[in-house]
Structure 1
Amino acid sequence: MTRTAFVFPGQGSQRVGMGRHLVERWPDLVDRYYRPADDLLGLPLSRLCWEGPEACLQDTPVTQPAVFLTSVVTLDVLGRHGVRPDVVAGHSLGEYAALVCAGALDWQDALALVRLRGELMATVNDRAPGSMAAVIGLAPSTLEGICADIAAATGLAVDVANDNDPAQLVVSGRTEAVTEVMRQARLAGALRVVDLNVPVSFHSALMDGIAADFAEALDETAFRAPSVPVLSAATAGPVTTAAEAAAVLRRQLTGRVRWTGTVRNLTAAGVDRFVEVGPGRVLGGLCRRIAPEARVRTTDDARRLDQALGAVTAAVV
């Protein structure tokens, strides 16, 4: 029996025009989601999603609510066609949409949290300039050792931030330390090392400075126990209570994204189909590499959305 996981993307999946294919076919989505989102944030988020400019869409306080909102609207469309997940998970920012899908969080509450998260993250580089880099082809233990040695030698924060697939890791921290990790990773035999063009050192100890402010916002938000099974990429384990839902959002601010372990645990639980719900196709690619035997569908444009709907609804029937 087929078991379907909805997986929700994070920052990096944004593009100008995202979500436009949805409102062109279902115009009521504008009044249902986009106008309320614009009003809630005091920001022309809908126009930025559909028209850009790209420079604004790349700004973290805009990027995060834009990606989140596109995922929630896509989720609505899937629901209209009777497509429901057996389990959900999200990559970093995507955990907010996963919790909305699971009924643990109202979408407007999640949108406000995501906007605050982006705003707080954007302030970190002003105090402690950081960067991120992707490392391809090194074992996690090797890269962890390099990070630990450099952090000890320099006193600068740097660590593995993302375990994206069996070959791809991401490091995050102070810029000077990340640069040295890149150099030593090449010497250690990494197949490829890429300096990532991101404005914030996500999932690093540098985020400690905003953790208290964000925890306060989480404490003021209403969470519920999930009504659909959830696996958190912060732990690669299940989220079963309202308290756990809030806790993983707090933990992931500074903690590692354990996507490889999350997908492996999903497949171990019988998931054999992944539907990436939202903009981009990055997460679908990671799922294919981690679980090559699974079927993967994306929803980034009209053609792919139709293919996903056709494949999933045919299987249900």
Structure 2
Amino acid sequence: MRYALVFSGQGTQHAAMLPWLADTPLLQAMAQTLDCTDWRAALADPAWARTNRHAQPLLTATGLAAWAQLKTQLEEEFNTQGTHLPPPSAVAGYSVGELAAYAAAGVYDDTTALQLAARRAQLMDDCARHQPGGLLAVSGLASNALATLVQAAGAHVAIVNAPDAWICGGPHAALATLQDRASAAGAHCTPLAVEVASHTPLLADAAQAFSVELQATPCQPPRLHLASNAGGRIASAQDARQALARQISHTVQWQDCMQELYERQVSCVLEIGPGQALARLWNQRYPDMPARSADEFRSTQAIARWLVRQLGD
């Protein structure tokens, strides 16, 4: 009975996300961090929702609260069958989702992960004021052709989702040039509602500052198989610190991260967080190993029933 968890990244948060999510002390701490009494109402404002200092702590806290609530439901389901819930065979997070994944794997406690998310957002925003930029999704071109266009435009590869599906980052002028040239070459381009050039050298100062923050923050080696955005496995506390800082200014290799999970030979994958982006990416690449998002379901009971069925097949 093997399953994997993936924690959502930024960009798909919405007011109706995870409708079954109950209030918890962690979500109350999140509300204090955000200085917001009703985070769902606040998410109805697109400008509020896409702001780093709001989105990153919110995604970290809601992801961890959702997993805690779901785990309780799963334990009840397994207990009724006279068995025990196995831990996830592997865990990963997409971009800022790595903080929730690291906490789920035991590297940080939930409160520390929330605090780090807030600090990460602040450092990225501070850096972006001096190095403004954004992100552009580009798909439909061969990787060598796309790499040539990215380099010629003065942009950078921020995230590799698939060989022909990248998120590119850089200064706004470089992204505009890339969009024009890639579209002319037949690519599909979508500017993202993100206000910083995440996972590019433009955020090198933020990565360095976050590294200092992480070195001063106690952490533990992961208790679960933890896949890194850089590809490969996080095996030690120092690995975790280095990887979390590095990914701010370096390419997220999500296709490699997915392959790392696939090689664990899990029966299914559950996305924890808003939207279904990671589940869709997974199902496109690995149709023989189903993935669903917790945000698709109306209750934790429904999620638990699906997961139990998958693990029983």
Normalising by structure 2, report the TM-score: 0.89
Write out the 4+ residue segments of structure 1 that deviate beyond 6 Å after TM superposition: none
Alignment of 1:62 onto 2:54: yes
2:118 matched residue in structure 1: 115
Paired AA for residue 176 in structure 1: A
Please provide the CA RMSD for this pair: 2.0
Q: CA deviation at 1:268?
A: 2.4
Asked if the contact 2:90–2:264 (Cα under 8 Å) also holds between the matched residues in 1, the reply is: no
Unaligned runs of 5+ in 1: 24-28, 152-157
Per mean C-alpha deviation after superposition, the further-off stretch among 178-187 and 289-298 is: 178-187
Distance of 1:305 and 1:13 partners within structure 2: 20
The corresponding residue for 2:145 is 142
1:209-220 correspondence to structure 2 within 5 Å: 209-220=205-216
Output one character per residue of 1:70-93: Cα deviation in whole Å (capped at 9) or x when no partner.
Answer: 100111012212253111011011
Provide the secondary structure at the position in 2 that maps to 1:103. Answer: coil
Paired-residue identity, %: 27
Opposite residue 110 of structure 2, the aligned amino acid is W
Work out which of the residue numbers 140, 156, 159 in structure 2 matches 1:159.
156
- The aligned runs of 1:1-317 (5 Å cut-off) are 2-23=1-22, 29-30=23-24, 32-39=25-32, 41=33, 43-44=35-36, 47-49=38-40, 51-54=42-45, 55-80=47-72, 81-82=74-75, 83=85, 84-151=87-154, 158-190=155-187, 192-233=188-229, 235-300=230-295, 302-303=297-298, 305-316=300-311
Instruction: Identify the range of structure 1 (97-106 vs 297-306) with the bigger mean alpha-carbon deviation.
Output: 297-306
Q: Secondary structure at the match of 1:16?
A: coil
Contact 1:64 1:115 in 2 (8 A): yes
Whole-angstrom distance in 1 between the partners of 2:189 and 2:289? 28
Deviation digits for residues 75-115 of structure 1 (CA, Å, limit 9, x no counterpart): 10122122531110110111111111110111111111111
Larger mean Cα displacement after TM superposition, 115-124 or 181-190:
181-190
Task: Check 1:42–1:60 CA distance in 2 against 1; reply closer, same or farther (3 A cut).
Answer: closer
User: In the aligned structure 1, how far is the partner of 2:265 from the partner of 2:190?
Assistant: 34
Aligned length: 300
SS of the aligned residue for 1:257 comes to coil
Post-superposition Cα deviations, 1:261-295, rounded to whole Å, max 9, x if no partner, equal 21122212312311001222111111111211111
Letter in 2 for 1:185: A
Is this contact kept in 1: 2:48–2:54, CA < 8 A? Answer: yes
**3-state SS of 1:300 partner:** helix
Structure 2 CA distance for partners of 1:134 and 1:168, relative to 1, 3 Å? same
Gap regions ≥5 residues in structure 2: 76-84
Give the Å deviation of 1:59: 1.4
Give yes or no for contact 1:160–1:256 (8 Å, CA) kept in 2.
Answer: yes
1:37-61 Cα deviation digits (max 9, x unpaired): 334x2622x6224553423222110
Residues 8, 94 of structure 1: 8 Å contact kept? yes
d(CA) in 1 for partners of 2:238, 2:107: 10
Query: What is the CA–CA distance in structure 1 between the aligned matches of 2:18 and 2:217, rounded to whole Å?
Result: 27
Change (3 A) 1:128 1:240: same
Normalising by structure 1, we get a TM-score of: 0.88
Q: SS in structure 2 opposite 1:198?
A: coil
